[in-house]
């Protein structure tokens, strides 16, 4: 069984983003040094290629791609989708990957994960994405309201959206893209997608099968396919996953990989390690511990795992 993988991270502007990027990269390669390629989507990042190369082994390929949105639009909504689609398009040229790991700069890696993720995709060839999906790590249901999807599909909200889009852009070609988006969402719904669902960003994995299918149907050709939709990359790619006939699966129970929620952590850093998780999100915005405290605990955990017996 192959567990070869690449990692995709979007990087925004500012010194804090650079510091966070350094931590997530060093944590990744501390435990998974055989990552084949690290793809960074530059959305204003200030750290240099030389700095990043100093945080990773020479055996891993570093690719830095400028986000095609080039500062236009919302960097934390559909702007992320532009960047992720560009990164996946780049990685689709590789034929030696079993999966692609998607991380954010406020993610943390504190356990080995590649064999577990590869085994999941091998057991479930129908799975295109894995992470926090229909339930939280606590087991609670996680179905989200789908008003952002309805704006792309329901007749009246869609008509209002299209009218405003044309008034703002004066680009009638965007109507064609919007209608193609609607058709894609309807196809996803026909394959079991529920309005509003998405695999939580900050830590999830794509199968190589999903990437090959998206490439063959040219769904990676236009990074702006979801632009103006206000659908962030985790929502957009979950739709693509189902439209292609794949499913998304939760992989966030104790003993699995992804202790991933939107804000803060689902449990204390030490407890997450004890429960057998490997990747957590988010180390910021947790009212119980500071980001520094969380990163320090995960750093100590990593050192225990790599220390000589």
Structure tokens at 82: 């532009």
What span, in angstroms and rounded, lies between the C-alpha atoms of 296 and 294?
5
Number of Cβ within 10 Å of residue 82's Cβ equals 27
| Three-state SS at 29 | helix
pLDDT at 1: 47
Q: Spell out the per-residue pLDDT of the chain, length 309, in tens.
A: 468 999 999 999 999 999 999 999 999 999 999 999 999 999 999 999 999 999 999 999 999 999 999 888 777 778 899 999 999 999 999 999 999 999 999 999 999 999 999 999 999 999 999 999 999 999 999 877 777 787 777 776 777 777 777 777 777 788 888 889 999 999 999 999 998 899 999 999 999 999 999 999 999 999 999 988 888 999 999 999 999 999 999 999 999 999 999 999 999 999 999 999 999 999 998 999 999 999 999 999 999 888 775
Strand locations in 99-148, DSSP E? 99-103, 107-109, 127-131
SS3 call for 168: helix
Cα–Cα distance, 76 to 20 (Å, whole number): 17
Q: pLDDT at position 101, please?
A: 98
Q: What DSSP designation does 141 have?
A: B
Please, which residues bridge with residue 280 across strands? 108, 259
Strand arrangement of the beta sheet that strand 107-109 belongs to: 107-109, 279-281, 258-260
Residues with Cβ within 8 Å of residue 290, at least 6 apart in sequence: none
* CA–CA gap between residue 307 and residue 309 (Å, rounded): 6
Burial environment of residue 174 by CB neighbours within 10 A (0 to 12, 13 to 18, 19 or more): middle
Task: Encode pLDDT of 238-288 as tens digits.
Answer: 999 999 999 999 999 999 999 999 999 999 999 999 999 999 999 998 999
Pairing, β 107-109 against β 279-281: antiparallel
Q: How far apart are CA 302 and CA 226, in angstroms?
A: 38
Q: Looking at the chain, how many residues does it have?
A: 309
C-alpha Rg value of the chain to the nearest Å: 19
**Pairing, β 203-207 against β 99-103:** antiparallel
Look up residue 255 and give its DSSP letter: T
- Other beta carbons within 10 Å of 50: 7
Q: The domain 5-306: what is its CATH number?
A: 3.90.550.10
- Cβ atoms of residues 221 and 180 within 8 Å: no
Q: What is the pLDDT of residue 2?
A: 66
C-alpha to C-alpha distance for 186 and 135, rounded to whole angstroms? 23
Q: How many CA atoms lie within 13 A of 45 on its CB side?
A: 23
């Amino acid at each position: 069984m192959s567990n070869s993988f690449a990692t995709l991270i979007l990087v925004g502007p500012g010194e804090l983003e650079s510091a966070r990027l350094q931590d997530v990269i060093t944590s990744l390669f501390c435990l998974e040094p055989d990552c084949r390629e690290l793809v960074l989507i530059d959305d204003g990042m200030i750290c240099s290629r030389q700095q990043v190369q100093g945080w990773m082994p020479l055996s891993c390929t570093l690719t830095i791609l400028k986000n095609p949105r080039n500062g236009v639009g919302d960097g934390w909504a559909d702007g992320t989708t532009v960047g992720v689609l560009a990164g996946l398009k780049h990685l689709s040229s590789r034929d030696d990957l079993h999966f692609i790991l998607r991380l954010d700069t406020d993610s943390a890696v504190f356990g080995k994960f590649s064999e577990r993720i590869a085994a999941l995709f091998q057991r479930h060839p129908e799975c295109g994405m894995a992470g926090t999906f229909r339930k939280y790590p606590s087991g609670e249901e996680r179905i989200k309201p789908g008003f952002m999807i309805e704006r792309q599909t329901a007749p009246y909200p869609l008509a209002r959206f299209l009218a405003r889009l044309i008034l703002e852009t004066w680009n009638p070609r965007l109507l064609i893209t919007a209608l193609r988006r609607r058709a894609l969402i309807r196809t996803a719904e026909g394959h079991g997608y529920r309005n509003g669902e998405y695999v939580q960003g900050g830590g999830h994995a794509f199968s190589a099968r999903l990437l090959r299918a998206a490439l063959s149907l040219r769904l990676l050709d236009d990074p702006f396919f979801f632009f103006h939709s206000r659908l962030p990359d985790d929502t957009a790619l979950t739709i693509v996953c189902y439209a292609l006939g794949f499913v998304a699966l939760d992989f966030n129970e104790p003993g699995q990989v992804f202790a991933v929620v939107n804000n803060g952590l689902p449990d204390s850093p030490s407890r997450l390690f004890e429960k057998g998780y490997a990747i957590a999100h988010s180390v910021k915005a947790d009212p119980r511990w500071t980001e520094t405290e969380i990163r320090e605990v995960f750093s100590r955990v990593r050192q225990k795992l790599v220390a000589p017996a």
